[in-house]
Chain A
Amino acid sequence: MKYWFKIIFAAEQKRIQLGILLTFITAISGVALLLLSGWFITATGLVGISLSLGIVVLFDMYMPGSGIRFFALNRTVSRYVERLYNHNTILKLVAVFRGELFGRLLRLNYSASQHTDSKEWLSRLTADLDALDSILLRYTITPLAILLLSIVVTIFSYFIWRDITFLLLVLLIIACLLGVFGTVFFTAKHAFDIAVLQNTLRKKSIEHLEGSFELHCMGLQTMHATPLQKKLSGLNRLETKFRKSSSRVQFCLDLFLQLGLVSVILFTLHNVNEMVISEPVAVLFIFLTVGLIEVVQALPGQFKEWGKTKYSAVKLQHEFSQTTQHSVDLPATSPAVEQLSIHINAHPFIPASKQGLVISLNKNITSFVGRSGSGKSTCANILAGLVSQTELSENQVQYFLNGESLQNTKLFNTADLFYLRQENTIFSDSIRYNLTIGLPRVTDAELTLALKKVGLADWVAQLPQGLDTWLGETGESLSGGQARRICLARLFLRQPKFVILDEPFNGVDKSTADKINDELLQHFKNSKVAVFTHELAGFHSNEVQAVVTDLNLA
C-alpha cells in the first residue's frame, strides 16, 4: 500500500493537493452552514425577546443571512466540483498505470508469457487497477481533508472560546483514530481474506466446470463440488465476520460521537449559566459539533475496503516492482542463416527428435513435412526462437551459430523475421489495422496490392466500409480461409530476410492457394523460407535447391 501511496502522490501532487482543498471547502461549508444558522436563530431569538421588552438593540440581520446563503451554495457547488475533479485525477493515473502494466506484459519473454493466464492479466488490467482508486479517493483525500477541517476548527474555537478547544480536539482525535485505525485494524484482515478466498473460489469453480465432461457421466459431479461448497460456506462465514466487525466499529464510533455531542451540549450550556459565553456562541458550538459528527461518522465506511484494496495493491505491486528482467535485447543484425543450425534432442512434442534432429537452413526454401502430431508447430516455434527455459535447460534444443553454442534465442530482429503461425490471428479491429499492425506507414494502394496478391481485394472492395470494416468477435465474421489470407497479406507488406510458414494455406482452396504460392515465391526471391506442411504437395517450389525434411517417423 505504501508503495502505491508514494507513486500516486508523486505522480499527481498538485492535483491531489487541490483535490484535498476542494474536499475541505465542501466539508467546511457544510459545517459553517449549520453553525451560522444555529447562531443566527439564537441571536435573532434573543434580539426578538429584547425588542419585545422594549430594549433597543442594534442587530444586522442581513450579513449572517447572506453568509448562510453563501455557504449553502458553496457547499453544493464545491461538492460537485470536488467529486468530478478527484475522479478525474485518479482516472488519469489509472490510465497511465494501465499503459505501463500492459507494457510490462508485452516485454515478458517467451517462457514467462507461456505461463501467463490471460484472464488473470485481464483482471489485473481492469478490476485490480480500478481498485486503486480507493487509495486516492478514500484513503488520501478524505482523511487529509478532515485533518485540515480539524485544524481550522481548532484555530477557530481557540480564538472564539479557548475552553472548548480542548474538548473538541479530544473528540476529533479519538473519533478519527477510531474511524481510521479502528476500522483498518478490525476489518482489513477479513476483507483481505475474502479477496483471497474469492480468487481461489473463482479458480476452483473454473476447474470444476472444466471437469464436468468427465465428472458428470461418472456421477461424481456433486462429490467433486463438496470442497467448493465448503469454501462457499467459508466465504459466507468470512463475510459475516467482516460485516460484524465493521458494523461494530461503526457502532462504537457512533456511540462515542453522540456521547461527545451530549458532553459538548452540557459543557456549553453550563458555561452559559456561568455567563462565560453568550447564548448564540453556545448554540454555534453545538451546531459545529453536529456538523463535525456528520463528517467524521463516514470514516469507517471509507476505510472498511482497506483489506480488499490491499489485496489488489499487493498483486499489482508485484508486477510493477519486478524490474524488467524479462526483456532480451534484440541483436542489431540478424545472423546469416547459413551458419545457423539447431539440434533437437528427445523433445517430448517432436517424436522424430528421439534419435536427434538437426535443422539447418542452407537453401532458399526448406520444406518440412509431417502429419499432425509430428511436432511441426513446435519445430516452427523453435526456428523462430520461441523456446521455453525448460527446453533449453534440458538441452532439448540447442542453437549453434558458426558451430558455437548460443544461449540467446532471440536470433533475429523482428523486422528480419516473419513467422506465420498455424493459428490465424485476427484482432478485433478494422481490416486496415489488422494488416498494418507493426508497420509504420502504409498507403492504401500498398494495402490493396497486398490484398490482391491473396485474392481478397475484390471482397474488400465490395464491403460498404472497405478497409475500415471491423473484424473479429464483434465485427464481420470471416471464414477460416479469409482469415488465413488476411494473415498472409501481412506478409506481402514486409520484406523480411527470413520467413517461417506453418501450414500457410490452411483452409484456402486449392486454386487460390496455388496463386498465392506463386506470389510468395516471387515476393521472397531473396529470402530464406522454411515451410511446414502436412503433405509434400502443400507448398510447391520450382527451386532446384529445395530440401525436404521428413518429420514423420520412419
Chain B
Amino acid sequence: MPQEKLSLASFKDVNTGQDFLKTCLNSHQAQLRLAVLCGALSTFLLCVQWGVVSWLVHEVVVDEKKISATLSLIIILVMTIVLKVIVTKLQTHFSELASAEICYEIRQVLLAHWNKISPCQRQISPAASATQLIDDVHNMEGYFSRYWPQQMLSVIAPLLIFFVVLWLNWLCALLLLISAPLIPLFMILIGMGAETVNARHMLLRQRLSGHFLNRIQHLQVVKLLGATTQLEDEIKTKSEQYRVVIMRTLKIAFLSSTVLEFFTSIAIASLAMYIGFSLYGAITWGPAQEISLFSGLFMLLLAPEFFQPLRILSQYYHDKASALGAADNLLPQLGQLHHITQTTTAVERPFPISIHSPGPQLYLRDLSIGIVGEAVLAQNINLRAKGGQIIAVSGPSGIGKTMLLNTLVGYLPPIKGQIKILPQSNISYLPQRPWFKNGTILDNITALAPLAEVDDIWQALDRVGLQKELKESKRGLDTNIGDLGLGLSGGQLQRIALSRILLQPSPIIILDEPTAKLDRESRNTVIDVIQALAQSSIVIVATHDHALIQIAQQVIDFASLRYESRS
C-alpha cells in the first residue's frame, strides 16, 4: 500500500489527539501490520512448541518410548523454537522501525512548523515547545511500537489459543472463556483504571512542577524574607503529600492488573484440577474421558499463554495514555498555522509606487494595529518612506511601539489597513532584548550574518567601537557569551547585536529601543551606526531617546498618534 511521509498537510483535518495518533499510524500501516502478523505467527509457533513438548512427554511417559526414538519430534521442536524466537525478534524489529520513523517524521513536521509560524503567534514558551519536540514525541513512541500491535494481538492470540483448546477439549475451552468472561470488559476495566490514574498523576505532577518552578524562580526573595527553612519543610511536605496521593491511585491501578493476574492463576489452577481429576477418573462426564496426558499437559501449558497478551497489554496501557496526552498537547500548536493562513486576505488598492526610485519603499495605509478581536492600540497610521530615511516611532513605554514593529515585520496581522514593502525583501530586526545563544561571539554573529567573513566581522566590530576591547581580550571572537549574556555588559551586547545587522543589512531595518540602557558613549556610537545604515535602507526605530528622534526624517508619535514629517 502506498505510504506517504508525514507532513504538515497530513494533520490538516486532525482535531483530536486520537485522530492525530491514527494519522501517524496510517502513514506506517504496512510495517505495523507486518509486526502484528509476526506476533500472530509467533503465537501459532508457540502452540506448536507446547504441542510437541506435551506429545514428547506423552510418548515417553505413557507409551514408554525411548527418547532416542523420537528424533523427528525433537528436530521439529528445535526448529519451531528457533523460528519462534526469530519471528518474535522480527515483530519488535518492524514495530520499532515504524515507531522510530513516525517519531522522526513528527519531529520534522514540528520543526518545519516552528520555522513557518510567526514568533508572535506562538502561544507557548520556547521551553515548552522544546519539551514538545523532545519529550512529548518520545512519549508517543511506546504507543506505536508496543501498545498498538499488542492491542491487535490481544484479540488474535487468545482466539488462536482458544481454538486449539477447543479442538482438544471443549469443556476446558469453556473454562477459559468463563475465566475471561468478556475480554472487552477486561480492557475497559484496565483502561478506566489506568486512565484515571494517569490523568490524576499528570495533574498532580503539573501542580507539583508548577509549585517547584514558582519557588525556584523566587529563590532570592525567599532568602531575603528569611524563609529558607520554612520552604525546605514545605517542599518535603509537598513531596510527601504527592507520595500519599500517588500511592492511593496506584492501589487502584495495580488492582486492575491484579484482577488479570488472579484470573490467570485461577485458570491454571482450575484447569490443572479438572485435568488431574479427569485423568484420575474422578470425573467421568462430558469430554473428561478423552483427556490424555498429552492433551492435559498441552492445555495446562497453553492456559497462561491465553492470558499473557492481555497482561502485556495492561502493562502497555500507560503508553497509550501518555501518547494521547502528548498528542492532545501538540495539536493546538499545529492547528495554529491553518488558522493563520486563513486570515490574511485583504482587498488591495494599488499603491502610488514610484518605479523610478531605486531604493526600497515602504507604504502604510490606514493601518490599525492591536490584537484581533481584543484591543486596538493605534488607528489609521499612514506613512510613505523610501531608502535613506530614518523613521522614529516615539512614545512612552508600554504604549504599543513594539506591537507596531511586529506588525511591520509581518509577525502580527494588521487589524485594518495595508502594509506594502517594495521590493519584497528580508527585514533586519533588532528587538529590545537582542537574541544571544550560548556560544562564542563568532557563533552569535554568524547565526544572523552567515555570509560574513572574519575580516568583515572585525570591520563591523570596529564600526560599533568594539574592535579594540575584543582584540585586547584573551579570546577575541571566541569569547563565550552565556545564554544570559554574562561576562559582557549590556552595552557591549547591544553593539554586537548591531554589528550583525551591519554585516548583512536588509533594505528595511527595524530597531526596538536600540539606545536604552546604554551609557552616553556607546549611545553616540550606536546613533552613528544607525545613520550609516540609513544611507541605503529604510530604518524604523522605536525609541524615546531624544537624540534619536532628532535625526529621524519622519516621526510617528504614539502618545498622540501625531504623524510628523520633516523634510
Contacts and interface: CB of A to CB of B under 8 A. Distances in A.
**A and B from one assembly?**
yes
Interface stretch (A1-9, A48-56, A523-531): A48-56
A260 B429 CA distance: 69
Contacts of B486: 115
Interface in A244-293: 247, 250-251, 254-255, 258-259, 261-262, 265-266, 269-270, 272-273, 279, 282-283, 286, 290
B376 interface: no
Given A282-B61, A428-B211, A210 B279 contact: no
B72 interface: no
Interface stretch (B26-34, B269-277, B547-555): B269-277
Given A37-B268, A473-B210, A262 B232 contact: no
Contact of A95 (B78, B108, B242): B242
Given A38-B300, A68-B272, A262-B81, A219 B438 contact: no
DSSP class of B's interface residues: helix, strand, loop or mixed? Answer: helix
Contact of B239 (A94, A110, A223, A354): A94
A232 interface: yes
A222 interface: yes
A118 B216 contact: yes
A222 B117 CA distance: 12
Contacts of B217: 118
Interface string B203-217: 001001111111111
A438 B209 contact: no
A283 B61 contact: yes
Contact of B89 (A41, A64, A250): A250
Contacts of A214: 429-431, 434-435, 448
A247 B504 contact: no
Nearest to A350: B519
Given A220-B450, A247-B89, A103 B232 contact: yes
Interface stretch (B244-252, B353-361, B382-390, B527-535): B244-252
A211 interface: yes
A386 B134 contact: no
Given A73-B265, A118-B217, A243 B96 contact: yes
B429 A99 contact: no
A485 to B, nearest CB: 16
Interface stretch (B10-18, B123-131, B341-349, B452-460): B123-131
A34 interface: yes
B235 interface: yes
B506 interface: yes
A75 to B, nearest CB: 5
A265 B266 CA distance: 26
A10 interface: no
A211 B427 CA distance: 14
Chain B interface category by residue count: 35 or more
Contact of A218 (B230, B272, B426): B426
Interface in B239-289: 239-240, 242-243, 246-247, 250-251, 254-255, 258, 261-262, 265-266, 268-269, 271-273, 275-277, 279-282
Contacts of B130: 201-203, 205-206, 209
Interface stretch (B52-60, B163-171, B366-374): B52-60
Nearest to A423: B221
A48 B289 CA distance: 11
Contacts of A247: 89, 92-93, 96
A61 B276 contact: yes
Contacts of B232: 99, 102-103, 106
B412 to A, nearest CB: 12
B516 interface: yes
A526 B146 CA distance: 70
A125 B205 CA distance: 11
A240 B213 CA distance: 34
A272 B70 CA distance: 14
Given A80-B254, A265-B56, A105 B216 contact: yes
Nearest to A261: B81
B476 interface: no
Interface of A: 33-34, 36-38, 40-49, 51-52, 59, 61, 64-65, 68-69, 71-73, 75-76, 79-80, 83-84, 87-88, 91-92, 94-96, 98-99, 102-103, 105-107, 110, 113, 115-116, 118-119, 121-122, 125-126, 198, 201-203, 205-225, 228-229, 232-233, 236, 239-240, 243, 247, 250-251, 254-255, 258-259, 261-262, 265-266, 269-270, 272-273, 279, 282-283, 286, 290, 348-349, 351, 354, 372-373, 384, 386, 390, 414-415, 417-419, 421, 425, 427-428, 437-438, 472-474, 490, 553
Closest 10 CB pairs of A and B: A348-B489, A438-B227, A95-B239, A99-B236, A438-B225, A414-B226, A37-B272, A209-B126, A72-B265, A72-B269
25 contacts: A33-B269, A40-B272, A45-B296, A51-B280, A94-B239, A98-B236, A115-B486, A126-B205, A202-B131, A205-B129, A207-B437, A208-B114, A217-B410, A220-B447, A221-B114, A236-B100, A243-B100, A247-B92, A255-B81, A259-B78, A272-B67, A273-B66, A372-B517, A386-B220, A427-B215
